[in-house]
Structure 1
Amino acid sequence: MINIQDVDTAKKELGRKLAGWRMACKLTQLDLARSIPSSRSTIAGVERGAQVVDRIFWSRCDTLLRAGGELAQAYRRFQELERRFQAERTAAAEQARWGNADAWSSRIAGSDNETQPDPGARRVAAGEPQIGGVPDDLPGVAFDDMRRRTLVKWGATAAAVAGMGSGRPSDGLTGRVGARDAERLSKAAVRLYGLDYRHGGDSLWQAAAAKVNDGYAMLEQGSYTGTVEGHLLKATGRVQMCAGWLAFDAGEQGVARTCFTDALALARQAGDREVETATLAYLALQANALGRPREASRFASAAENATSTVTGPPRLGAVPQLRKAIASALMADPSGTDTAIGRARRVLDRDGDKPTEQWCTFLSPAELDGIEGTCAVELGRAAQAQTLLEQAIAGYDDRYARNRALYRVRLARARLSAGAPDGAADAANEALDDLTGEVASWRVHAELQTVAHQLAAYPRIPAVAGFLARYPSVADHR
C-alpha cells in the first residue's frame, strides 16, 4: 500500500530535481517563472514540494533547462505514484462503506423489492450528513453511474463524461420528488458557502459531495413533473459547483476539476447561465492557483462572454475580471491587471449595495482590495501591496475568517518583499490565530508554508523566532 508520506516524499524529490536543474543553469526562481511563464511563488512552492503543477509546466521546464527528458520522466513517475495512491484510497473508502461487490449487489437487489418511504424520511433514515459537520464514515465524491446517466441524458459532451471514475451510488432518494426537495438542495449549497467563508473547504467538501449525490439520486430514481425536473437540474448544478469550490479550497484538485466540469454541463443543459459563468470563473481561479495563467485567462474570457448574455446576480460581472487580473499579474502584465481591476471596481460601485446570492457575497470592497493587493505582490509592487492587503484584512470579520487568513499570509509575503521580516512575522502569526481557530484551507496552508520557509532565514529576530516556534504545531494538525 502507498501512503501519503510516500507521495509527499516523491513530491519533494521532484521539487529538488527542478531546483537542481535550475541552479545548474544559473537561473533564479524569477528567471524561470518569467520563461515558463508562471509565478515565482509557484516555482518556490514546487521546489519545496508544496505543490505540483501540470504536465505542460514540466515539459517546458525540461526543455528550457535542457534536462534531456529527466524532469518530464520524473513528473510522469510521480503522476503514476499519485494515481495509484488515489486509487487505493478510493478503493479502501468504498470497501469501508460498501463491503464487497456481492454484498453491495445484494443490498441493491433487496432495496428494489421494498416499499419506498417518503423522500424526507429516507434522508433521515439514511443518516444524511448535517451541514456543518462531516460524519467519519462519509465517503468521498462518488463518480457513479447515476451521474453518468444524468449527464448523458441531458446532452453532456463526451469530454464531460470521460474521466469520471467508477464508484457506488449513495442511498437513493426515490419516490415522488417535488419543488421543495430541489429548494432544500439549493439551500444546502447556500449554507455550505456560508460555512466555507468562516471555516474553509477542508472540513466541508465531502458534505457537499454527499448533497450532490442526493441531487443525482433524485434525478435518476425519483418521480417528478417537467417543471420540477428543471428545478432539480439547476439545484444539482449549483451544489455541484459548490462542491467543486470546496474541494479546490481543500486541495483536492482532481475532484474539483471534475465537479466543475459536471456543474458546467448541468448548467448549460438547464439553461442556468449564472452557474455557467460562475463555474468558468472557478476554473480560472483554479488554473491561476496551479500556475497556469494563460489557461486561467481563457476561462475568465469565457466567463465574461457568458455574463454578457444574461442578467445575473449583482456583482457577478466582477468575478471574471478578478480572475483576469490575477492571470495578468502572473504573466507580468501590469496593464492587463490594472484594466481588469478597474472594470471589477466599476461593477462593484454599481451593484455592491444590492442583495446577491450567497456565493457572491464575498465580493466586497475588502475582497477587491485583497485581489488587487495579491496582484501587486506578484508584480513586485510591495508598498502598494501592503496598503491594499491591510485594508482588505481590516474589512473582514470572523464570518470571513478564511479570506482574512489568506490575506494575512499575502501581507506577510509583501512585507518580506519590502525587506521587513519582523512585520512579515507579525502578519504570519495573525494568520496562525485564524488557523488555530476553525479555519482549514489548503490555499492558506500552502502559501503560509512558503512564508515560513522564507522567514527561516531570519531566526534571530524575536517575532520570527516566535512564529517559527509556533508554526509546526499548526502545520502538523492540518
Structure 2
Amino acid sequence: MAAFPHSPNSTFRLLRGKQSPAEFAAQVRRAAREIGETVSCDARYVGRVESGEIRCPNYAYERVFLHMFPGRTLADLGFSPRETVRGRSAQRGPCTAPTPRSPTSAKESDVLRRAFMAGGSATVAAATLGLTLLGDSRRLPSRPGETEAAAVEEAVRRIRLLDDRHGADALYRKASEPLRTAYALLDAGAARQSTDDRLHSGAGELAVSVGWLAHDSGRFDDARSHYAEALATARVARDAHLEAHAFSNMSFLARDCGRPREAVRAAQAGSRAAATLGSPRLLSLLALREAGGWAGLGDRKACEEALTRAHQEFSRGTADADPEWMSFFGEAERESLEARCWAALGEHARAARHARRAADLQDPHFARNVALYTAELAGDLARANAPDEAAWAGGRVLDLLGEEVQSTRIRTILADTAGALVPHQRSPRVGAFLSRL
C-alpha cells in the first residue's frame, strides 16, 4: 500500500514559538499534570507532530492541547479531523490504525502500552517496569520491527519519567529486565537498517537510563557496567549522541567514585563526541562535568576555565539539536553542578548560594530533584557554619523522602550532613533534625 505523504503542521510549529522541542515538551507535561493526565511527551513527539507524521493526537493529548490553548479546536492547532485519519495504515500517528499484524503481536503491543503508560506510586511503578517489552509471551520475534523499536524507546521515556518522580531505588531491579530484552531484540537483528539503527540507539539509551538508576541507588559497579555497555553500543552504531551521553554519565560516576581524573577525561571525550552535534547545552553540561573533575583534583584554575566554557555555551540557549534526554538540564541543574564544584574546592558558603538557587528554580513536580538539591544545600550550610539553616533544609528533605521519593544518593548526603551537625546538636532545631533522621 502506498504511503500517504506527510504535510508539515506549520500551525503547531508557530505555537511552539522560540522554545526548543524539549522545552515545549516539558510545557506539555506540566499542562497534563494540571488536568490529571499522564503523557510521555518529549522532543521526538513534538517533532513528529510538527512534521505531520501525527495528523491527529490521541484523546489524552487532545485534552492536554485544548487545555493549553483554550478556545481553540484541533483544527485550529493544525490537526486533521479524527474521522479522516482513522484506518489509514500508512500513517503511524496515535490516531491511526497500525499496520495489520498478528493477534499475538497486537496483544503484546497492548500489554506493552499498558506497562509503560501506567502511573502511581514508586511501588506500582516498579511493578509496572517488571513487564518485559514482549508482554506475557516472552517470545522474541524472528525479526524485530518498528513496533519493537518503538517499545524500547517508550521504555526509555517511561523510566526517565518515573525516576524524576520517585528516585531510583524502587525502579532499578525492575528496569533491568526490559534492558535484557532490548539487547536480545538487538541481537535478533532487524530486517531494515533504519529499524536496526533505532534499536541500537534505543537499547543504548536504555542502558544509560538503567545505569543511572544503579548509579543513583549506590550500585556503582553495576552502573559502570551499564554505561560501558551503552558506550560500546554507541561505537558500534557510530551514534555520536549516544556516545556523548554515555561519556557524560561515566564522568559523573567517576566523580562520585572518587576518581576525579577519570571524570575529567570522560567529560573531555564526551565533548569531542558532541563537538559537531550542534547542541550548545550538551557542550555546557559536559564542561560542567569536566569542571567537577578538576574541582575534585583541587585544580581551581582549570575548574574555573571549564565553568566559564559551561556558562558561555549555556548562554547560547537551546537548539533543535538538543538530545531529548537533556530535558532535565536547565538552570536548576546547572546551578547544582556548579555548587558541587565550589563544595569540592572547600568554598561551602559559595556552594550554598548556588544550591539554594537550584532548589528554588526546580519544578516542584519533580520531587526527586527538589529533594536532591535541598539535601545538597543542607550539606553546604552545615559546612558553612550555618547549622540551624542546615537543619531546616534537612527537615524539608525528610518531608519528601518516603514512598514517593526513594534515593540512596539523597540519604547518603543527609547522613553526611548529620555527621557535620553533631557538634551543634544542642541547638533545638539541629537536635530535632538529628532525631528525625
Q: Which residue in the other structure is 1:17 paired with?
A: none
The answer as to whether partners of 2:251 and 2:262 remain within 8 angstroms in 1 is yes
Q: Which residue in the other structure is 2:89 paired with?
A: none
State the shift of 1:395 in Å. Answer: 0.2
The answer as to whether partners of 1:293 and 1:331 remain within 8 angstroms in 2 is yes
In the superposition, relative to structure 1, how do residues 275 and 137 fare at CA in structure 2: closer, same or farther (>3 Å)? closer
1:307-346 equivalent positions in 2, closer than 5 A: 307-308=274-275, 310-311=276-277, 313=279, 315-346=281-312
Equivalent of 1:215 in 182, 205, 211: 182
Tell me, in whole angstroms, the C-alpha distance in 2 between the residues paired with 1:275 and 1:252: 22
Q: Which residue in the other structure is 1:398 paired with?
A: 364
State the shift of 1:225 in Å. Answer: 2.2
Equivalent of 2:220 in 239, 242, 253: 253
Equivalent of 2:378 in 412, 419, 431: 412
- Deviation string 1:38-78 (CA, Å, 9 cap, x unpaired) is xxxxxxxxxxxxxxxxxxxxxxxxxxxxxxxxxxxxxxxxx
Q: Which residue in the other structure is 1:199 paired with?
A: 166
Q: Which residue in the other structure is 2:264 paired with?
A: 297
Q: Which residue in the other structure is 1:106 paired with?
A: none
In the superposition, relative to structure 1, how do residues 314 and 189 fare at CA in structure 2: closer, same or farther (>3 Å)? farther
State the shift of 1:252 in Å. Answer: 1.6
Tell me, in whole angstroms, the C-alpha distance in 1 between the residues paired with 2:322 and 2:399: 30
The answer as to whether partners of 1:329 and 1:379 remain within 8 angstroms in 2 is yes
Q: Which residue in the other structure is 1:273 paired with?
A: 240
The answer as to whether partners of 1:412 and 1:428 remain within 8 angstroms in 2 is yes
2:197 counterpart of 1:230: yes
Q: Which residue in the other structure is 1:118 paired with?
A: 104
Aligned pairs, number: 326
Q: Which residue in the other structure is 2:329 paired with?
A: 363
- Deviation string 1:161-211 (CA, Å, 9 cap, x unpaired) is xxxxxxxxx934224432232123112212221221222111222333222
SS in 2 for 1:134: helix
In the superposition, relative to structure 1, how do residues 352 and 283 fare at CA in structure 2: closer, same or farther (>3 Å)? same
Tell me, in whole angstroms, the C-alpha distance in 1 between the residues paired with 2:353 and 2:265: 30
In the superposition, relative to structure 1, how do residues 441 and 369 fare at CA in structure 2: closer, same or farther (>3 Å)? same
1:446-457 equivalent positions in 2, closer than 5 A: 446-457=412-423
Q: Which residue in the other structure is 2:348 paired with?
A: 382
State the shift of 1:314 in Å. Answer: 5.4
Q: Give the superposed CA RMSD.
A: 2.7
Tell me, in whole angstroms, the C-alpha distance in 2 between the residues paired with 1:124 and 1:353: 35
State the shift of 1:416 in Å. Answer: 1.7
State the shift of 1:120 in Å. Answer: 4.8
Q: Which residue in the other structure is 1:282 paired with?
A: 249
Amino acid at match of 2:104: D
Amino acid at match of 2:434: L
Amino acid at match of 1:421: P
Q: Which residue in the other structure is 2:394 paired with?
A: 428
The percent of aligned pairs where both chains have the same amino acid is 33
Judge which range, 358-367 or 388-397, deviates more. Answer: 358-367
1:437-476 equivalent positions in 2, closer than 5 A: 438-471=404-437
Unaligned runs of at least 5 residues, structure 2: 1-101, 120-124
Amino acid at match of 2:285: V
The answer as to whether partners of 1:304 and 1:317 remain within 8 angstroms in 2 is yes
Tell me, in whole angstroms, the C-alpha distance in 2 between the residues paired with 1:454 and 1:417: 7
Tell me, in whole angstroms, the C-alpha distance in 2 between the residues paired with 1:123 and 1:222: 19
State the shift of 1:379 in Å. Answer: 1.4
Tell me, in whole angstroms, the C-alpha distance in 2 between the residues paired with 1:333 and 1:352: 30
2:229 counterpart of 1:262: yes
Unaligned runs of at least 5 residues, structure 1: 1-115, 142-169, 472-478
The answer as to whether partners of 2:255 and 2:292 remain within 8 angstroms in 1 is yes
Amino acid at match of 1:389: A
The answer as to whether partners of 1:119 and 1:177 remain within 8 angstroms in 2 is no
Q: Which residue in the other structure is 2:317 paired with?
A: 351
2:127 counterpart of 1:135: yes
The answer as to whether partners of 2:295 and 2:303 remain within 8 angstroms in 1 is yes
State the shift of 1:291 in Å. Answer: 0.7
In the superposition, relative to structure 1, how do residues 128 and 262 fare at CA in structure 2: closer, same or farther (>3 Å)? farther
The answer as to whether partners of 1:374 and 1:385 remain within 8 angstroms in 2 is yes
Tell me, in whole angstroms, the C-alpha distance in 2 between the residues paired with 1:297 and 1:138: 36
Tell me, in whole angstroms, the C-alpha distance in 2 between the residues paired with 1:235 and 1:126: 16
**TM-score with structure 2 length normalisation?**
0.69
Q: Which residue in the other structure is 1:34 paired with?
A: none
**TM-score with structure 1 length normalisation?**
0.63
Tell me, in whole angstroms, the C-alpha distance in 1 between the residues paired with 2:421 and 2:186: 52
In the superposition, relative to structure 1, how do residues 353 and 298 fare at CA in structure 2: closer, same or farther (>3 Å)? closer
The answer as to whether partners of 1:199 and 1:438 remain within 8 angstroms in 2 is yes
Tell me, in whole angstroms, the C-alpha distance in 2 between the residues paired with 1:353 and 1:228: 26
Judge which range, 349-358 or 118-127, deviates more. Answer: 118-127
In the superposition, relative to structure 1, how do residues 137 and 428 fare at CA in structure 2: closer, same or farther (>3 Å)? closer
The answer as to whether partners of 2:279 and 2:319 remain within 8 angstroms in 1 is no
Tell me, in whole angstroms, the C-alpha distance in 2 between the residues paired with 1:362 and 1:125: 29
Q: Which residue in the other structure is 1:474 paired with?
A: none
Tell me, in whole angstroms, the C-alpha distance in 2 between the residues paired with 1:388 and 1:127: 40
In the superposition, relative to structure 1, how do residues 367 and 250 fare at CA in structure 2: closer, same or farther (>3 Å)? same
Amino acid at match of 1:456: V
In the superposition, relative to structure 1, how do residues 137 and 283 fare at CA in structure 2: closer, same or farther (>3 Å)? closer
SS in 1 for 2:298: coil
State the shift of 1:350 in Å. Answer: 0.9
The answer as to whether partners of 1:172 and 1:214 remain within 8 angstroms in 2 is no
In the superposition, relative to structure 1, how do residues 358 and 191 fare at CA in structure 2: closer, same or farther (>3 Å)? farther
2:144 counterpart of 1:177: yes
Judge which range, 423-432 or 411-420, deviates more. Answer: 411-420
Tell me, in whole angstroms, the C-alpha distance in 2 between the residues paired with 1:290 and 1:219: 31
